[in-house]
Every structure is written in C-alpha cells, then in structure tokens.
Amino acid sequence: MIELLQLPFMQRALIAGVLVGFLASYYGVFVVQRGLSFLGSGLAHAAFGGVALGLLLHREPLWIAVPFTVLVAVAIFWVRDKTELGSDTAVGIFFAVSMALGIVFIFLKKEYTSDAFTYLFGSILAVTKTDIQITAAVVGLTLLTLPLWRRWAYASFDRELAETDHLAVNRDDYLLSILIAITVVVAIKVVGIVLIAAFLVIPAATSRLLSRTFRMMTLFSIIIGMVSAFAGLLVSYYLDVPSGAAIILLQALLFFLAMLFKSTKSM
C-alpha cells in the first residue's frame, strides 16, 4: 500500500480523484434535490461535442470542452426560461445536438485517435500535473461560492418562496449550471463522459437516504464522493479493472447498503 502511494502517477490519480469527488458530490446534492439528474448526462454529452471539436482542431480538448459545455448549460436554462418547455426537454434537445456534432467532428478527423476513447471512458492514471492544477482551481472557485450555498439550498427546496423573498433565483440557476458544466468537464479524465452523470447523482442520492437536513446531505455526499474515489482507484489498481467503473460500482454498492439500512430502520 505504502509503495503504491509512492508512485508518481498514482499520487496524481489519487489527488485528482479526491478533488473531483469533492466537486461532483458537492454540486450533486443540488442536481438531486432539484430533480435535474438528466442535466448531468446532458452536459456530459455536450462535453463530448467539445472534446471532439478540440481533437478536430488539434487543440487541448478540455480547453475547447469547457466553453462549449458552459454554452450548452446556459442555452438549456435560456430555452427553459424563454419557452414553456421544461428543463428535461431542453436537456434532451441539446443532448442530441451535442452528440450529433461530436460524431460529425470525429468523422471529419480522418486519422484514428485513441484520445476520444480516453475521454469517453476515463483514464485517471493518465492525469497530468496540469489536470490537477485545473481541477484545484475549480475547487478554489467552488469554495469562493460557499456563501451562496444557503441561498441555493433555499431555492432547491422551495423555488417559488425564494422568488417571493426577492432572491435572484434565475441568476443563481445560470451560475450553478455553469459551475456544474465546468465540473463535468474536469471530471472527464477521472470517470469519463459515459459515467460522469452517475458520479454527480449516486453520492448525493446515497447521502439523501442517510440525512435529515440538507446541510448533512451535502456533507455526507462530499465524504462519500471523496472516499469512494480514493477507494475505487485502489480497487481498480489491484483488480486491474477500469478506474472510473470501479469508482461508480463502489458508489452504487454504498447506495444499496444505505437503502437497505434505511428500509430496515423504518421497519
């Protein structure tokens, strides 16, 4: 175990996993509480379109995926606000458009590239110092928004009452969607586009089963996300299985254990 932690690539992977575990689990509580689980999947596929465009342009994919995904996130809520369509419908539209664009971009890139599969399924052992620095910067940005947590929590439980109290609910929706979009992009290297939606939902859903308050739900979600990322990475290394899948399966195990605990306690 100690020898394993001395390996530079494993140190980078563990740091990246814990940082992403914090980000995804923190924002995941708002995704779950607001019933926006489909949003995580939609933004992940939007990120695929950005990554594919970056590969086509021979640029660092994440630098293209960030503005691309943020633009899609803003567009989703703009369509929701300007039409009578719900958030799930708007997500479904941009989900499909982003995937279609990504497929076109990959097709236009004539030469074969393995990078697309790396972003689709994750490759946490391949994270670089730059990846960690970017993720740490997003964590820092998230910490700066902590004073807004109470307001976001209020709107998550009763949006209409929050609007009645003259809170900037719509503006907060856009800000939160932008931060979730950035989190999705930086998490791609850890669990991949295919699984990032689960990383946003499962720790938060598990903590919801175990919590009596939203504050406790947030804390438990962060702990579950960070610990499962750390433990899942170790399991994937020793069992020689994909790291992203190992992390998600471990989170799913914790969810079912929490559900079992909840059901037996209520009997």
pLDDT tens for 224-249 read: 999 999 999 888 888 888 888 888 99
Interval 196-221 mean pLDDT: 92
Indicate the pTM of the whole model. 0.89
Interval 95-101 mean pLDDT: 88
Of 132, 135, 110, nearest in space to 55 by CA: 110
Interval 17-36 mean pLDDT: 91
pLDDT of 116 over the 70 cut: no
Query: Can you tell me the distance from the alpha carbon of 244 to that of 228, in angstroms, rounded to the nearest whole number?
Result: 11
- Higher-pLDDT residue of 8 and 70 is 70
Question: With bands split at pLDDT 50, 70 and 90, how would you rate the model's confidence at 3?
Answer: low
CATH superfamily of 2-259: ABC transporter involved in vitamin B12 uptake, BtuC (1.10.3470.10)
CA angle 138, 195, 31 (to 5 degrees): 60
Query: Can you tell me the distance from the alpha carbon of 123 to that of 16, in angstroms, rounded to the nearest whole number?
Result: 11
Contact 46, 98 (CB under 8 A): yes
Residue 114, helix vs strand vs coil: coil
Longest CA span, the chain: 60
Contact 181, 73 (CB under 8 A): yes
pLDDT tens for 67-89 read: 999 999 998 888 888 887 777 78
Interval 125-146 mean pLDDT: 88
